[in-house]
Amino acid sequence: MMRDYFHQLSDAVGSMLQGNEVYTLNFLAEESDFVRFNKSKVRQAGAVTQRSVSIDLIAGQRHAEGELCLSGDLELDRPRVESLVKSLREQRGVLPDDPYLLYATEVHSTDQEGEDKLPSKADAVDQIQSAGAGRDLVGIYAAGGIQRGFANSLGQRNWFSSNNFNLDWSFYHTADKAVKEGYAGFEWDPAAFQKKVEVAGQKLDAVKRPSKRIERGNYRVYLSPVALYDIVGMLGWGGFGLEAHKTKSTPLLKMVEEGKTLDKQVTLRENTKDGVAPGFQGAGYLKPDHVDLILEGSYKDCLVSPRSAKQYGVPTNGAGAHESPTSLDLSGGALAQDSVLETLETGVYMGNVWYLNYSDRVNCRTTGMTRFATFWVEDGEIKAPIDVMRFDETIYHVLGENLVGLTAERDFILDADTYFRRATSSGRMPGAVVNAFAFTL
């Protein structure tokens, strides 16, 4: 139904054009249920229906962009869209040419309609509360349909819809001692969920042991796939965008300017083909299956938005305006997942990290905290949870000279972010054993 509305809306905007005008249009919608839990009870529960369109009204190199929320009923929305188009036309009239305006002029239409296999709200809530019985469960269940569309006046139509759920939850023992888990996907499998609950319960038993306080210093660590996703994800803050490279603000500046390298095991891709994000971007360009960002430890390609492409005279590779990855993929290594404790031998098992930020961007040094299930390991055995520690490390150590190995198995991580709307980004990550990881506080 939303797809029909999107096509009707796109045609309607086309009928509003004058003279040599061109439009590009992006449609965003979702119907979400959000259920928030605390102490295994419901804190807040509700439903959100939101739809919006952004239109770029173009004539030659002049253009103006505007976004409008929608009801989803074209008869109701048409007058407001007409009003937006009219105001964009007026605004465009006073603006200068945009020398970096670039949009797709070859028509490549696509259509991806996701199946709806979501569980009923009652089933999901009941199962989650059952999992929390006798425990302190806190977190959020987010589920429902997500729709994205691109259209232009050249006739291109790209449609993407997905129906997914993302349960992001923790079991708490006391104070800050807890275990975090995630269960996300397209079809709820009670057995798979139960398995995750059992694994979390086992980790919680380990968290209940008396905690150990470690001193500042360098330790051998294991970074779980989720922890590594957060650390590698920091590189998305301007690490790969052509604009950041041209303005020398990339945190990977030393790789670019001085030829600094990471370990040869490190191959990092924007892997759109195996991700869950739409395969098109806001100016109508399709994304390639993948872009090699770092290949065997050396910097390879940038993410290039149409705007950067025009400015710097290179082809776009379908990146969005912010030139950030949405489907990060770090290749696996040779370590078997079931041997990581043995490989770690003595050190810190880091299940999660928290609140990362650059403390020295030029040197790609990141600070952050341990959080949730983080354990002290001796002789390949988990001994005790550790009290939270601050780390401050550069990627050149973690994935460079101090990298012992990456696991062969990788986790597929669906982003649980819900700022403004539910995220469609994801990552595929191995775990990593790292030497001399610096804890500073």
Partner 1 sequence: MLETLEARFRAAMPAVDFCSFRFMREKAEQVAVRRGVLEPVSSSDDMGVMVTVAHDGGWGYGATSDLSQEGLERAVKQAREWAERTQGKTVFDPAELPQAQAKGHYAGPVENAWEDVKLIDKVDLLKRECARLKTDDAIVNWISAFSHTAGESLIVTSAGGHLTQTFSYLIPSMMVHANKGAETVRRTFGANAFGRQGGMEVLQQTGFNTAAPRIAEQALMLLAAPDCPEETTHLLLAPDQMVLQIHESIGHPIELDRILGDERNYAGTSFVTLDMFGSYQYGSELLNVSFDPTISEQMASYGYDDDGTPAVKEYVIEKGLLKRPLGGATSQVRAQPLQPGIQGVANSRACSWNRPPIDRMANLNVEPGTSSVEDMVKSIERGVYMETNLSWSIDDSRNKFQFGCEYGRLIENGVLKGVVKNPNYRGVSASFWRNLAMVGDASTVQIMGTPNCGKGEPNQMVRVGHASPTCLFSDVEVFGGAK
Interface with partner 1, residue 367, by CB under 8 A = yes
Q: Which of 8, 18, 60, 69 binds partner 1 (CB under 8 A)?
A: 69
| Rounded Cα–Cα distance for residues 241 and 236 (Å) | 8
Q: Within 89-118, which residues bind partner 1 (CB under 8 A)?
A: 91, 94-96, 98-101
Interface with partner 1, residue 59, by CB under 8 A = no
| Rounded Cα–Cα distance for residues 360 and 162 (Å) | 39
User: Which of helix, strand or coil describes residue 231?
Assistant: helix
Rounded to a whole number, what is the distance in angstroms from the first to the last CA of the chain?
54
Interface with partner 1, residue 61, by CB under 8 A = no
Q: Within 117-156, which residues bind partner 1 (CB under 8 A)?
A: 121-122, 125, 129, 136, 138-140, 142
> Least Å distance between CB 372 and partner 1?
9
Q: Within 407-426, which residues bind partner 1 (CB under 8 A)?
A: 417-420, 422
Nearest to 102 by CA among 317, 306, 241: 306
Interface with partner 1, residue 439, by CB under 8 A = no
User: Which of helix, strand or coil describes residue 362?
Assistant: helix
Answer whether 382's CB lies under 8 Å from 349's CB.
yes
Name the helix (H) or strand (E) containing 192: helix 190-207
> Least Å distance between CB 381 and partner 1?
26
Q: Which of 394, 407, 424, 426 binds partner 1 (CB under 8 A)?
A: 394
Q: Which of 61, 110, 249, 298 binds partner 1 (CB under 8 A)?
A: 249
Q: What's the gap between Cα 301 and its chain centre?
A: 20
Amino acid at 233: G
Q: Which of 11, 18, 67, 213 binds partner 1 (CB under 8 A)?
A: 67
> Least Å distance between CB 245 and partner 1?
11
> Least Å distance between CB 38 and partner 1?
5
Count helices and strands (H / E) in the chain. 10, 18
Region class of 284: left (phi > 0), else alpha (psi between -120 and 50), else beta? left
Interface with partner 1, residue 371, by CB under 8 A = yes
Q: Within 149-178, which residues bind partner 1 (CB under 8 A)?
A: 168-170, 172, 175-176, 178
Binding mask 38-57 for partner 1 (x = CB under 8 A): xx-xxxxxxxxxxxx-x-x-
